[in-house]
């Protein structure tokens, strides 16, 4: 009803227009924020155009949902209060005894949801090294859902998507890909056959660090009614105001991502050449173990860069407090550059031994590279490294 068909246009055009046509009544170029909880009915059980209650139907949310579905190449999109609410709602489609096979270096909050809450409701979880092609050869035959993030957080490991998708489908499982780090600008897993794409729209999709939200986009039109039922029944929908802010940010996704990727490459090259840096992790560097896969699977290499300082957490703490342009904060994907230490911050909920076993060292520093001038970012990193 709302979305103009933009699918013949290139991504940069669709990202600006998808999900909304100027309003028929007023010509409004941007969707109004429909701050209404309910809608008048013409007779009992006769709502106008199907609009009954805002948890179920809201024009502003529909505009965002349709835009995300278009950009990911999916049949339908659903948006939520947070990325976690999107993941939680997907889990609600499963039942006790269902097996989920997940990558072993997930976002900390996703691991916490799986390991503490979802297990209490009888879901079974196996964790594998999703970057290892051979790990996909022997999925348990009773797997119902496969869940991966690529690139992963914080180690920026890649899942070979086509291998994982084919492996999931071979055992009759569905596969969900958390596309938060990549965004549909860099990769579109549904077009490779994945069943679900997840986003924390808090990050690159909204892009301005001013709203928390999540999204789930589905490939198969036949799943639409059931997913809508779960979103509505669980009540995990985002507000019209949050949907508006997210859509406003989304319009500039392509130009922001171009700059994020350009700056991140410059920063990664600088860090890799710096004598005080032990190791730099960026899929765009030839030294990344999956650089060749990244070149094939992704349109560019993203805005996240990680590196290790030798000597553990103390030098890492000194380094982050010497930075002036980078703000010390969790989260990522906004226009401003952020720095954080995964071990004591975003990944603190993972036990220390598990953290080290999967390669998250205490001296690991994670950078979310913003869209500032690259030279200023590099100068800031340089002066902070010089204090060590
Ligand atoms: C932030 C994040 C989430 C969780 O999203 P929220 O919006 O914070 O609930 C999930 N996955 C990844 C990869 C994230 O970075």
Residue 253's pLDDT is 98
Mean pLDDT for 117-132 is 97
- Does 68 share its domain with 155? yes
- Give dist(CA 119, CA 172) in Å, integer: 22
- Does 304 share its domain with 359? yes
- Over 50: is that where the pLDDT of 380 sits? yes
Mean pLDDT for 55-69 is 97
Quick check: is 4 in a domain? no
Quick check: is 362 in a domain? yes
- Over 80: is that where the pLDDT of 7 sits? no
153: CA distance to ligand 1 center in Å? 10
- Does 227 share its domain with 310? no
- Does 22 share its domain with 41? yes
Residue 5's pLDDT is 53
- Does 241 share its domain with 292? no
Ligand 1 neighbour 362 (Cβ under 6 A): no
- Over 70: is that where the pLDDT of 135 sits? yes
pLDDT averaged over every residue in the chain: 96
With helix as H, strand as E and coil as C, how does 140-192 read?
CCCEEEEEEECCCCCCCCCCCHHHHHHHHHHCCCEEEEECCCCHHHHCCHHHH
Mean pLDDT for 134-152 is 97
**Based on the number of CB atoms within 10 Å of its own CB, is 273 exposed (0-12), middle (13-18) or buried (19 or more)?**
exposed
Mean pLDDT for 47-69 is 96
- Give dist(CA 289, CA 281) in Å, integer: 9
Ligand 1 neighbour 179 (Cβ under 6 A): no
Residue 348's pLDDT is 87
Quick check: is 6 in a domain? no
CATH label of the domain that carries residue 239: 3.40.640.10
- Does 264 share its domain with 308? yes
| CA-wise closest residue to 111 among 364, 361, 350, 356 | 350
Domain range for 340: 254-386
Domains identified in the chain, total number: 2
Tens digits of residue pLDDT in 240-283? 999 999 999 999 999 999 999 999 999 999 999 999 999 999 99
- Does 325 share its domain with 356? yes
Tens digits of residue pLDDT in 90-117? 999 999 999 999 999 888 899 999 999 9
Q: Which of 210, 235, 250 is the last residue of a domain?
A: 250
- Does 259 share its domain with 239? no
275: CA distance to ligand 1 center in Å? 33
- Write the CA distances from 256 to 100, 217, 263, integer angstroms: 34, 22, 11
- Give dist(CA 216, CA 89) in Å, integer: 9
- Does 118 share its domain with 32? yes
User: Is 178 in the active site?
Assistant: yes
Residue 190's pLDDT is 98
Tens digits of residue pLDDT in 229-242? 999 999 999 999 99
Ligand 1 neighbour 84 (Cβ under 6 A): yes
Mean pLDDT for 180-184 is 98
Quick check: is 187 in a domain? yes
Residue 6's pLDDT is 58
203: CA distance to ligand 1 center in Å? 8
Residue 215's pLDDT is 99
Q: Which of 250, 272, 299 is the last residue of a domain?
A: 250
Mean pLDDT for 18-38 is 93
Q: Which of 221, 250, 279 is the last residue of a domain?
A: 250
Atom number, ligand 1, closest to the C-alpha of residue 332:
15
- Name which residue leads in pLDDT, 318 or 354: 318
- Does 218 share its domain with 294? no
């Amino acid at each position: 009803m709302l979305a103009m068909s933009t699918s013949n246009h290139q991504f940069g055009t669709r990202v600006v227009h998808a999900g909304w046509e100027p309003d028929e009544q007023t010509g409004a170029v941007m969707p109004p924020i429909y701050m209404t909880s309910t809608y008048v009915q013409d007779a009992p059980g006769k709502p106008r155009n199907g609009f009954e209650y805002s948890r179920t139907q809201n024009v502003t949310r529909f505009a965002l949902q349709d835009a995300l579905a278009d950009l990911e190449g999916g049949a339908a999109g659903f948006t939520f209060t947070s990325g976690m609410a999107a993941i939680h709602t997907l889990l609600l489609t499963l039942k006790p005894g269902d097996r989920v096979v997940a990558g072993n270096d997930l976002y900390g909050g996703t691991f916490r949801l799986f390991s503490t809450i979802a297990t209490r409701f009888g879901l079974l979880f196996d964790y594998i090294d999703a970057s290892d092609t051979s790990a996909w050869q022997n999925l348990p035959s009773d797997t119902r859902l496969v869940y991966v993030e690529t690139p992963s957080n914080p180690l920026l490991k890649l899942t070979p998507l086509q291998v994982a998708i084919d492996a999931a489908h071979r055992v009759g499982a569905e596969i969900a890909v958390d596309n938060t780090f990549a965004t549909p600008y860099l990769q579109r897993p549904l077009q490779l056959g994945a069943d679900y794409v997840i986003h924390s729209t808090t990050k690159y999709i909204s892009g301005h660090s001013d709203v928390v939200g999540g999204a789930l986009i589905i490939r198969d039109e036949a799943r639409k009614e059931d997913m809508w039922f779960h979103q509505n029944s669980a009540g995990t929908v985002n507000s019209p105001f949050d949907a508006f802010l997210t859509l406003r940010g989304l319009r500039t996704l392509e130009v922001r991502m171009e700059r994020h990727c350009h700056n991140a490459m410059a920063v990664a090259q600088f860090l890799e050449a710096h004598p005080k840096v032990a190791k730099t992790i960026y899929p765009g560097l030839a030294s990344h173990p999956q650089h060749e896969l990244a070149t094939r699977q992704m349109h560019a290499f993203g805005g996240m860069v990680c590196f290790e300082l030798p000597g553990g957490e103390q030098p890492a703490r000194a380094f982050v407090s010497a930075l002036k342009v980078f703000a010390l904060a969790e989260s990522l994907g906004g226009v401003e550059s952020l720095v954080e230490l995964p071990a004591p911050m975003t990944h603190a909920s993972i036990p220390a031994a598990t953290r080290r076993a999967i390669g998250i060292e205490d001296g690991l520093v994670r950078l979310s590279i913003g869209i500032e001038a690259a030279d200023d970012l590099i100068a800031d990193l340089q002066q902070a490294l010089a204090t060590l």
